[in-house]
Structure 1
C-alpha cells in the first residue's frame, strides 16, 4: 500500500497457483479484467507457479515488493511460508551491505580522514566539474540505500526510493533539508559543488554512529572487515600499501 489512489495508480495483484491449470488462469484473468472495467482502476495481474517461485532466486525489487505485500487469501499457509523463506536474510547480509556502502561513500564523497582524496575531488583536479557533481549525486543514492539497510529494509525501485525513505523508522536529524541541499544544482561551479558536498558530509556524520551501532564495528574495523570478508584479500597487503589510491581499484 503506497498511500496513493490517483490517475497514475494501478492495482498490483499476484496469484500463486499450486498446479498448472490453464482454465483456472483464464478465469482469474477474466475476473481481473471485469473488475478493471467496473472500477476504472488499471490492474496489473501476475500469475505464478508456486513451486517455480520457490526455486527461483528473487532479486532486490521482488523482495522489496513482496515485503510490503498484503496476503488476502492463503488457506494452507503456503504463501506465508514462501514469503518467510524468500524474505528472511541473515544479519551478515545487512552488515555486508552496510560495510560495502560505507566504503563507496568514503571513496566518492566522505573520506575517513583529512588529506585522503575522493573520486569527487579527482574530477575537480581533472577539470570536469560536471563529473564531480555527478559523483555527489551518486553519493545521495549510496546514502539512500544505506538508510534502507540500516532499517533492515530492501531497496525500492528508483521511482519510490526517495518517497519511501521518508517513512523509514530511523532517519538522521534534518534529513529532508540535507537531501534537498544535496539535490539542488544551481550551477556546475566549484562553489556549488562545495555546498552539495558539505550537505553529503553533514548527513554522513549523522548516519555514521548508527552504522557503527548496527554493525558493532568502528569505522576502522569496517575497513578491515571489508577487505577480509568482502574483497577476501589479505589485510596486511592493504596496510603496507596505504599510499595506494583506492579509486584505482574501483
Structure 2
C-alpha cells in the first residue's frame, strides 16, 4: 500500500518482541497477574531507538510485590536490551471502571493481549471500547460541519473561511483555514473507519493502516500539507488538492452511514449546541 511516509532507520522490532516476551514471562509468575497487553511499537511492527517497550500488566488485586518486581525488571531489561521500557500496572477491575481518554482508547483498541490467565480479557476490553453507532454519526456530523465552514461550503453562494480571510486581506489566516480543514479530514478518515483517534504524532503514520481510504489520498494529503508561500492563492491550491477526497468521503458517509448535510446539521444543532429542532 502506498504510504505518506517511508520509515527510515533500523527497525528493532525483533529485539522489542524479545524484551516484551521476557517481561511478560517474568511477571506472569506472580499469581496476582491475570493479564498482559502489548501496545506501541511492538504492535505497530516498527520500533526504533526512539521507541519504548510498552507493556500493560493487569492484576486481580493490588500487589506491592509485583510493583517492586516491575521496578527491578525495568532496569534489568533496559540494561540487557539497551531499550527504554514503559510497564504500566493496573488492578483490572478498577481500571475497567475508569474513564478512558481518546488516545488511550486507541492504544487499547490496537493492543495485543499476550497473557490471559483466566480467559476473557480481550472480550472485556472489547466491551469497554464498544461505541454506539450514534456516537460515530455525531463525530461525522461535527467534522462535516467544520470542514464545510472552513473550506468546502455545502452551498456555492456561501463563502468559505478562505474567502472571508481573503476579503479581509489576511493570507495567513486563509492558509490556516486549510490547515484546520486538513486536520479535520485526517480525523474524519479515522472516524469513517470506526477507529479511535491516535495521538497527533501517530495520525499520519497510521493512516495507511485504515481499511477504507479515498483514492489518491496520498497525493492529495501531500499536496495539501505543502505550503509554498503565505498567500490566498496557495491556500486555494491546497484546498483544491483536498477537494476530490472530500467529495469521495461525502459519498462514503452517505453510503455507509446514511448521512447527508441535512442529517449532519440536525445532529450538530441538537447534540452539540443543544438547540431544539426547528
- Report if TM-score (shorter chain) is over 0.5: yes
**Does 1:228 pair with 2:246?**
no
- Residue 155 of structure 2 corresponds to which residue in structure 1? 113
Say which SS state the counterpart of residue 73 (structure 1) adopts.
strand
2:174/2:232 contact within 8 Å kept: no
Aligned residues: 236
Aligned to 2:56, the other structure's residue is in SS state strand
Q: 2:182 aligns with which of 140, 144, 154?
A: 140
Q: Which residue of 1 aligns with 2:140?
A: 98
The structural deviation recorded for 1:81 is 4.2
Cα deviation code 1:50-94 (max 9, x no counterpart) = 232122100100000011111111111353243123211111111
State whether residues 223 and 241 of structure 2, in contact with CA within 8 Å, keep that contact through their aligned partners in structure 1. Answer: yes
Q: What TM-score do you get using the length of structure 1 for normalisation?
A: 0.89
d(CA) in 2 for partners of 1:62, 1:86:
12
Deviation beyond 3 Å, 4+ runs, structure 1: none
Question: What is the match of residue 213 of structure 1?
Answer: 255
Q: Are 1:159 and 2:201 an aligned pair?
A: yes
Q: Aligned with 1:72: secondary structure? A: strand
Are 1:25 and 2:67 matched, yes or no? yes
Q: Quote the Cα distance in structure 2 between the aligned partners of 1:154 and 1:137.
A: 21
CA RMSD in angstroms comes to 1.5
Aligned residue in 2 for 1:61: 103
Shift of 1:206: 1.5
Q: Tell me, in whole angstroms, the C-alpha distance in 2 between the residues paired with 1:62 and 1:158.
A: 13
Q: Is the 8 A contact 2:182 2:224 kept in 1?
A: yes
Q: What's the secondary structure of 2:114's corresponding residue? A: coil
Q: Which moved more, 1:216-225 or 1:46-55?
A: 216-225
Name stretches of at least 5 consecutive residues in structure 2 with no aligned partner.
Answer: 1-42
| Pairing 1:52–2:67 present | no
In the TM superposition, what is the alpha-carbon distance from 1:28 to its structure 2 partner?
2.8
Q: Tell me if the contact between 1:144 and 1:161 (Cα under 8 Å) persists in the aligned partners.
A: yes
* Equivalent position of 1:242 in the other structure: none
The Cα of 1:221 is off from its aligned counterpart by 2.8
Per the alignment, residue 124 of structure 1 pairs with: 166
- Aligned-partner Cα distance in 2 for 1:235–1:24: 55
Aligned position for 1:169: 211
CA contact (8 A) 1:58 1:86 kept: no
